[in-house]
Amino acid sequence: MSDEEFLIEARSMKKYFPLRGGLLKKEFGAVRAVDDISFFIRQGETLGLVGESGCGKTTTGRCMLMLSPLTEGDIYYKMPGDVRKRMVELEEKEASLPQPKKRKKSKKVPKPEDPDMLELWEIRQKYALNRKDPETLRRLRREMQIVFQDPFSSLNPRMLVKDIIGEPLKVHGVLEGDQITERVKLLMERVGLNPDHLYRYPHEFSGGQRQRIGVARALSLNPNFIVLDEPTSALDVSVQAQILNMLNDLQNELGLTYLFISHDLSTIRHMCDRVNVMYLGKIVESGTKEHVFENPLHPYTTALISVIPVPDPELKRERVVLAGDVPSPANPPSGCRFHTRCRFRQEICEIEDPPLEDKGNGHLVACHFR
Amino acid sequence: MSILNRKKKDEQNAAPADEAKENAPSVEEKASAVNEEVKQAPKKETKGRGRLDPLIKSIQPRVREFRVSMKLLSKSFLAMLGLIIVITMVIIALLAPLLAPPPPEWRDTSIVPKYFNQGISPPGSTYFDPVHNRTVDFILGSGEDGSDIYYGVIWGAQTSIRLALVVVLSAVVMGIIVGAVAGYYGGKIDELMMRVTDVFLSIPGLVLAMAVIAVLKPTIDNIMISLVIVWWPSYARLIRGQVMTIKENTYVEAARAIGAKKNRILFRHIIPNAISPMLVSATMDIGSIVLTTAGLSYIGFGPPGVAEWGRMANEGAGYIVGFISYQGVSYNPYWIIFFPGMMIFLFVMGFNLLGDGLRDILDPRLRR
Over residues A304-314, the pLDDT tens digits come to: 888 887 777 77
Non-local (6+) Cβ contacts of A77 within 8 A are A7, A8, A9, A127, A128, A129, A140, A144
pLDDT for A24 beyond 90: no
Closest CA to A267 of A247, A285, A282: A247
**Window A:81-110, CB contacts with B under 8 Å:** none
pLDDT-based confidence at residue A184 (cuts at 50, 70, 90): very high
pLDDT tens digit string along A107-160?
566 677 778 888 888 888 888 888 888 888 888 898 999 999 988 889 988 888
User: Residue A147's closest chain B neighbor by CA?
Assistant: B254
Closest CA to A280 of A324, A336, A322: A336
Q: What is the pLDDT of residue A100?
A: 63
ipTM of predicted complex: 0.85
Interchain proximity A65–B257, CB inside 8 Å: yes
DSSP symbols for B181-246: HHHHH-HHHHHHHHHHHHHHHHS-HHHHHHHHHHHS-SSHHHHHHHHHHHHHHHHHHHHHHHHHHH
pLDDT tens digit string along B192-212?
999 999 999 999 988 999 999
**What is the number of other CB atoms lying within 10 angstroms of the CB of residue A201?**
18
The angle at the Cα of B41, spanning B36 to B42, to the nearest 5 degrees, equals 145
> Which contiguous run of DSSP H or E holds residue A14?
strand A6-21
Q: What is the pLDDT of residue B37?
A: 46
A-interface mutation test, from B8, B35, B57, B258, most A Cβ less than 10 A away: B258
**Which domains are delineated in chain B?**
75-97+145-367 (1.10.3720.10)
Q: What is the pLDDT of residue A110?
A: 66
Give chain A's mean pLDDT: 86
pLDDT tens digit string along A265-289?
889 998 999 999 999 889 999 999 9
Non-local (6+) Cβ contacts of B148 within 8 A are B100, B112, B113, B114, B115, B136, B138, B142
Rg of chain B in Å (alpha carbons): 30
- What percentage of chain A has pLDDT greater than the value 90? 24
Mean pLDDT throughout A10-37?
84
As a whole number of Å, the end-to-end CA separation of chain B is: 34
* Separation CA A304–CA A322 (nearest Å): 9
Q: What is the pLDDT of residue A250?
A: 92
**What is the number of other CB atoms lying within 10 angstroms of the CB of residue A10?**
24
pLDDT-based confidence at residue A356 (cuts at 50, 70, 90): confident
**Nearest by CB: B250 against A148, A198, A240:** A148
Closest CA to A283 of A356, A188, A174, A202: A356
Non-local (6+) Cβ contacts of B260 within 8 A are A167, A171, B268, B269
Contact A37, A28 (CB under 8 A): no
CA B248 to chain A, closest CA, distance in angstroms equals: 10
CA B151 to chain A, closest CA, distance in angstroms equals: 45
Q: What is the pLDDT of residue A273?
A: 92
The angle at the Cα of A319, spanning A315 to A324, to the nearest 5 degrees, equals 160
* Separation CA B115–CA A177 (nearest Å): 64
As a whole number of Å, the end-to-end CA separation of chain A is: 23
**What is the number of other CB atoms lying within 10 angstroms of the CB of residue A267?**
24
pLDDT tens digit string along A216-271?
999 999 899 999 999 888 888 888 998 999 999 999 999 999 999 998 888 999 89
pLDDT tens digit string along B239-259?
999 999 998 889 999 999 988
* Separation CA A191–CA A242 (nearest Å): 10
DSSP symbols for A115-165: HHHHHHHHHHHHHBGGGS-HHHHHHHTTTEEEE-S-TTTSS-TTS-HHHHH
| Stretches in chain B below the pLDDT threshold 50 | 1-48
